[in-house]
Structure 1
């Protein structure tokens, strides 16, 4: 992938190597638990689920990171109370950290619970608020998506590039169905209804991190969703950008860790994509 001397290091330890190791170990353990989880709890809504596997994988990743970088900060989904307000507050509490690991141990828990083989481990490292390493691992396909700031993005060791579509009408998009039934889900559905006739087709497989990785690898032209969190997006956003794509909020502003309403694309039809979503939101 990259020469070892080019990978960001601290004290001789590679950030990227640690992120890959954490994702691989957690992913392999998660895979062994498919169909064998013993607890299931509802968090913010009936669509927002957590199992002991989510919690166990996050603990594993937190401990592994802490072994190598004990002074780094850590933001994991399962360590945050449910709901958008709590997520915003949790991010604000660590926003001044020099190094911040941002982790979703099982992105696609509902899929995992139902045995639907589309979920991932998402791990990002931000340096002073900017993501510098992003890893998304799909244990069911044994696909590891890796990006380093300024050094490109890779899957299965091969450099990724976004797709070539230049218009919405030839684009394959993805979205999600948010867990928030009061604001995010109705808005996302309104946008979906407006966008669907304008594109080649739309997919919704249930893992924002993998959708972003698929944009980065050229399998999707774009992705949008309302009401996501930093742990859903941080790693995937770097993957997309390092593959030549564009990531913004739905207003077209540059991505940052606080973005919750995301638009990611190959960049070639991004403005048209954002404009269509804005028109849908305005009811035009």
Structure 2
């Protein structure tokens, strides 16, 4: 059965707000001794895991036939070949911000058909902002329609990115790209939450966002939001899958070719993750 994506997006938004309420409650009670290191500089806490469990339980009721791709592995991950639909979940995008008391972290939930997001919700907890979108129905911030910005050249744009924090392959090429963007924009921002970065592109606060070595659960919901808000999202050098191929370029559409030209000059073909 094909789900009613628009109606489903309201229910998913409610679940994200509930998980966000739990996260907000834990800000003042957070126990630093319960931080676990998954890898170099890659942190997780009981807050991530408990919020993921809440989301999984609620989403299973909404669409029992769907599989899952989750960051914390509280439920078995599903391959695209195993089911038509999959929920892609980051229960706390911006864990490091949360742990350090910085106010930018979000709950991110997407529904994908194959590898294509068809529904996305990003709930930015600190500002109580819920970004919601469904394929063919547009994108919304707290139920008000949103659209990407209108900057037509990089010199007039504000760019978001993520900085490598544990895997430093290709760092020299990335820094060359970063240098050009710094010299030809109004500035770059590193918010620390890819889901929030993409939501901000969707509503025009940022004009573009780029990052490499990124995961599907970080970007899937935000990619849907940007597309439904009138923007464009691709891999860095091509129009391939930006959800599962570990590199994402999202723009208002007007800046895409100019930004890709810089990437093609410095990044080169054939990088393998």
TM exceeding 0.5: yes
Specify which of 54, 58, 66 is matched with residue 48 of structure 2.
54
Higher mean alpha-carbon deviation, 17-26 vs 100-109, is at 17-26
Does 2:264 align with 1:278?
Answer: yes
Q: Deviations over 1:21-52 (max 9, x none)?
A: 21011011101111422211111212x11010
Q: Which residue of 1 aligns with 2:40?
A: 45
SS of alignment partner, residue 219 of structure 1: coil
Change (3 A) 1:122 1:91: same
CA distance in 2, matches of 1:26, 1:61: 7
Q: Which residue of 1 aligns with 2:18?
A: 25
TM-score (normalised: structure 2): 0.90
TM-score (normalised: structure 1): 0.87
CA distance in 2, matches of 1:231, 1:187: 25
Any unmatched runs of 5+ in structure 2? 269-273
Deviation at 1:138, TM superposition (A): 0.8
Q: Deviations over 1:86-119 (max 9, x none)?
A: xxxx978345421100000000000000110001
Q: Deviations over 1:143-171 (max 9, x none)?
A: 00011101100102111111111111111
Deviation at 1:195, TM superposition (A): 1.8
Deviation at 1:68, TM superposition (A): 2.8
- Asked if the contact 1:184–1:227 (Cα under 8 Å) also holds between the matched residues in 2, the reply is no
Q: Which residue of 2 aligns with 1:69?
A: 63
CA distance in 2, matches of 1:175, 1:11: 33
Higher mean alpha-carbon deviation, 189-198 vs 199-208, is at 189-198
Any unmatched runs of 5+ in structure 1? 1-7, 81-89
SS of alignment partner, residue 263 of structure 1: strand
Change (3 A) 1:115 1:128: same
Deviation at 1:263, TM superposition (A): 0.5
How many residues matched? 265
Q: Which residue of 2 aligns with 1:134?
A: 120
SS of alignment partner, residue 33 of structure 1: helix
Specify which of 179, 183, 188 is matched with residue 169 of structure 2.
183
- Asked if the contact 2:123–2:130 (Cα under 8 Å) also holds between the matched residues in 1, the reply is yes
Higher mean alpha-carbon deviation, 252-261 vs 19-28, is at 252-261
Q: Which residue of 1 aligns with 2:215?
A: 229
Report matched runs for 1:182-201 at 5 Å: 182-183=168-169, 187-201=173-187
- Asked if the contact 1:107–1:232 (Cα under 8 Å) also holds between the matched residues in 2, the reply is yes
